Structure 1
Amino acid sequence: MKKKISLGIKYIFLCMISFLFVFPFLWMLFGAFKSNNEIWQTPYQLFPKHINLTELAANLKAVNLYGYLGNSFFVGAVGTVLILLVSGMFAYAVVFLKSKNMDRIFAIVLITYMLPGAVTYVPAYVILAKLQLLDKLSGLIFSYLANVFAVFYFRQSFMKTSMDFVEAAKIDGANHRLILRHVILPLNKSAFWSVGLITFIQLYNSYMWPSIMLKSQEKYLISQGLRQFFIQDGAYGMNWSQIMLASTITILPVVILLIVAQKWLMAAISQDSGVKF
């Protein structure tokens, strides 16, 4: 009986903490269905009194963020695939191509992870300018390919892979490409899912660096588009129902993605992926 009471108290406490984290998102979601006056009326109410479908349709038309949303999905999807490919190959070389030089190269790469991201903006900008990749989504994706976190995560996960599988594949005549594809990838699927999910969210939500290198408004990502919508005509948030709706449209794809992919993320955590030192 005491165990049940203790367990019930724990669940109640966790539910209260969860509600504190979820409440701002609920306020934003339900605010999208309220009128501007209803948002500011006191006492504040979480749920809308009534939903005006005509006003909601007009707000959906006014919130013109769909082009920015497409740009973010393009950068996130293509960038994530390329980062997984490049980082996976580099981590494979570090772990399975035994060489002192590879360990030194990895150490140098890892040191760069300690640098603040802002210090790389100027050299990255100069490099992209010389390659004529400024103000291009392809240039933005190219600048993200050197992902130290993904390399480190994959290295730690690959180190847990038994060399017996790799040696057996070599005996069967498999080259490094086939070993990486048919041996390493299946045995580290959770690591690839975890890095892919984290990387996509990072690229989708990126703001500072895209704001520096993207000048054409039609190429803005969703975070830039949301800010542009917020300050358009110097309004600075006069119509809060539209701002709530725009924020909901911005964050909803990420929330859906997290819900769909949570089992792979939890599998990676439960398997203690990438925590071998």
Structure 2
Amino acid sequence: MYFANLKTFVNYVTLVLLSFIMIFPYLWMFLISVKPKNELYSGKILPSTFQFENYIRVFTETKMLLYLWNSIYVGVLIIIVQLLCAIFSAYVFVTIQKKWVKLCFVLILATYMLPAAITYIPSFILISNMNLLDTHVGYIFSEFISIFAIFFLRQSFIQVPKEVVHAAKLDGAGHLRLIFTIYIPYCKNAIASLVLITFIYCYNNYLWPSLLIKAEENMFVTIGLRRLFMSQAGYGTDFPLAMAACAVSLLPMFILLAVSNKRIINSMANLYVNK
């Protein structure tokens, strides 16, 4: 009994320490965002006075609202396009049991193993030839297909009971009816999780958008934050404003994860149950 209680105590202490290590960068960011400028290098952890007006300055002196809007609405459009492509692709890979279909699926998974950076140059040339550089349309076009989304939904569609599918076919259901009345309702939890994962990816993506987007009115949160950091905090002139902007940019992600973290964890845990 003593050793069981000791083990539980050690586990809790370990979890608390690991949790503190994880949240410390965010806590430090918040403390810097509310510090006066003359106390940045004082060595004090807590500021003498909390300068919450830095958060007001984020919206009055920067274009953070524009960056947030660009990231959110482009992310939503990418989710819609990727979800439609993934649903129809996953349906084909699950229902058509032919060798050439299985070969296509293997080839698609093989491309997922390659680093994304190797596609940047050909994708950049293609978008440039289409005159879509520095536009949201060009970026959305480059994100039409998600290999992860196809694989994720394929694994979910496999779990649909074959008896239900056969019964729907006997009732005269065609492909579209099977997709929208059988597969999508049965896998709605997995689809909801995929929507959340895709939005997080789009919201946090930096490298590829930074190669395409140059105009400030088209910038996303990740690019805008770097621009703000270099202009306001590049020489230590206004670190509190830059840190306040970083804190504001994290709010959508914190809200999203707080609402749906269990759904994401459960879906990812069940991703490799069926192959």
Gaps of 5+ in 2: none
Q: Deviations over 1:46-89 (max 9, x none)?
A: x4433244555345422332111111111211111211111121
2:274 aligned with 1:273, yes or no? no
Compared CA separation, residues 126 and 103, structure 1 to 2 (3 A): same
What is the identity, as a one-letter code, of the residue corresponding to 1:33?
V
Do the aligned residues in 2 keep the contact of 1:65 with 1:225 (CA within 8 Å)? yes
2:86 aligned with 1:73, yes or no? no
Match of 1:20 in 2: 21
- In the TM superposition, 1:58-97 aligns within 5 A as 58-97=57-96
- In the TM superposition, 1:106-121 aligns within 5 A as 106-121=105-120
Superposition deviation, residue 244 in structure 1: 0.8
Match of 2:209 in 1: 210
Q: How far, CA to CA, are the matches of 1:34 and 1:214 in structure 2?
A: 33
Percent of residue pairs identical: 34
Superposition deviation, residue 236 in structure 1: 4.0
Compared CA separation, residues 177 and 274, structure 1 to 2 (3 A): farther
Match of 1:158 in 2: 157
Q: Secondary structure, in 3 states, of the residue corresponding to 1:40? A: coil
Q: How far, CA to CA, are the matches of 1:49 and 1:7 in structure 2?
A: 39
Structure 1 range deviating more: 60-69 or 198-207: 60-69
- In the TM superposition, 1:246-257 aligns within 5 A as 246-257=245-256
Superposition deviation, residue 237 in structure 1: 4.0
Do the aligned residues in 1 keep the contact of 2:233 with 2:239 (CA within 8 Å)? no
Q: Secondary structure, in 3 states, of the residue corresponding to 1:238? A: coil
Match of 2:34 in 1: 33
Compared CA separation, residues 243 and 6, structure 1 to 2 (3 A): same
Structure 1 range deviating more: 52-61 or 186-195: 52-61
Match of 2:11 in 1: 10
Q: How far, CA to CA, are the matches of 2:233 and 2:253 in structure 1?
A: 29
Q: Secondary structure, in 3 states, of the residue corresponding to 2:9? A: helix
Q: How far, CA to CA, are the matches of 1:102 and 1:59 in structure 2?
A: 52
Compared CA separation, residues 210 and 92, structure 1 to 2 (3 A): same
Q: How far, CA to CA, are the matches of 1:273 and 1:235 in structure 2?
A: 42
Superposition deviation, residue 194 in structure 1: 2.5
Match of 1:193 in 2: 192
Gaps of 5+ in 1: none
Q: How far, CA to CA, are the matches of 1:34 and 1:273 in structure 2?
A: 44
Compared CA separation, residues 63 and 35, structure 1 to 2 (3 A): farther
What is the identity, as a one-letter code, of the residue corresponding to 1:158?
F
Do the aligned residues in 2 keep the contact of 1:95 with 1:158 (CA within 8 Å)? yes
Structure 1 range deviating more: 8-17 or 235-244: 235-244
Structure 1 range deviating more: 237-246 or 186-195: 186-195
Kindly tell me the number of residue pairs found equivalent between the two proteins: 274
2:192 aligned with 1:232, yes or no? no
Q: TM-score, normalised by structure 1?
A: 0.90
Do the aligned residues in 2 keep the contact of 1:154 with 1:274 (CA within 8 Å)? no
What is the identity, as a one-letter code, of the residue corresponding to 2:42?
Q
Q: How far, CA to CA, are the matches of 1:29 and 1:57 in structure 2?
A: 14
Compared CA separation, residues 236 and 156, structure 1 to 2 (3 A): farther
Q: TM-score, normalised by structure 2?
A: 0.91
Do the aligned residues in 2 keep the contact of 1:29 with 1:248 (CA within 8 Å)? yes
Match of 2:176 in 1: 177
Q: Secondary structure, in 3 states, of the residue corresponding to 2:23? A: helix
Superposition deviation, residue 229 in structure 1: 0.7
Superposition deviation, residue 148 in structure 1: 0.8
Structure 1 range deviating more: 166-175 or 52-61: 52-61
Q: How far, CA to CA, are the matches of 2:30 and 2:8 in structure 1?
A: 31
